[in-house]
Amino acid sequence: MHRPVLLVVAHGSRDPRHAATVHALVRRVRSLRPGLRVETGFLDFNLPSVTGALESLDAEGVREVVALPLLLTRAFHAKADIPAVLAQAPRRLRISRAEVLGPSPLLLSALERRLYEAGLTPADKSSTGVVLASAGSSDPEAIAVIAEIAREWRHTGWCAVRPAFASASLPRTEQAVQELRALGCARVAVAPYVLAPGFLPDRIARGAAGADVLAEVLGPAPEVARLLLDRYDEARVRAPAAIGA
């Protein structure tokens, strides 16, 4: 059965670690489903651009594409930038737009994986406060989602979970670390809720200086790769999303 090409739409960054991490994630997705063609396009800074990737696919004769935003929340890029660039795609391409990655239980599993890789164990949960540190957004919906994820994650056994933001919103990572200290948590860990390294993840890391544990970014975690495939499958079974929706 013919399968649409999966086009992973990444933000892009001047930081070379960003594109390298995106490509590592895409390689893992390919390894999980060898028969699926997976391509990458960037909104800014890196090549191929989303437009360039779509034009190349069209020139090859590809007719169906699932465009998947490599984003954790439905903020400006998901609501405006990506629909705008997809609207400029060659007319012969039929494009379905997948949902953003978050929220998802798989992302919580990936966050915990990174914390355990950084040295924590499941036995540490009840005495450890966690800062859920995201890049931040001016979009109230995105901020509310991060706060809700922190509330849900707290119920899985952590001493406390507090959201923090590297830009646009408060509190900052360092403020959340201090708050967890004041609550009396025996240790404080910072879990970056970001997909790839870059300017804002570096700011999160600096803000984590007072914490006991700093996890790595989510990157090519197996749970993230599986989530991309879940979003791809969901986009295929529902009615194609209107590009401007």
Digit-by-digit pLDDT tens for the chain (245 residues) are: 579 999 999 999 999 999 999 999 999 999 999 999 999 999 999 999 999 999 999 999 999 999 999 999 987 677 889 999 999 999 999 999 999 999 999 999 999 999 999 999 999 999 999 999 999 998 999 999 999 999 999 999 999 999 999 998 899 999 999 999 999 999 999 999 999 999 999 999 999 999 999 999 999 999 999 999 999 999 999 754 444 33
**Under DSSP, is residue 68 helix (H, G, I), strand (E, B) or coil?**
strand
**Under DSSP, is residue 205 helix (H, G, I), strand (E, B) or coil?**
helix
Report yes or no on whether pTM surpasses 0.85: yes
Q: Tokens standing for 189?
A: 């860990």
94 C-beta neighbours (distance < 10 Å), count? 13
- Residue 156, CA distances (Å) to 10, 105, 166, 211 in order: 30, 11, 25, 21
Among residues 224, 169, 171, which one has the least CA distance to residue 195? 224
100 C-beta neighbours (distance < 10 Å), count? 22
Main-chain dihedrals φ then ψ at residue 172, nearest 5 degrees: -80, 165
Residue with tokens 């979003």: 231
**Under DSSP, is residue 63 helix (H, G, I), strand (E, B) or coil?**
coil
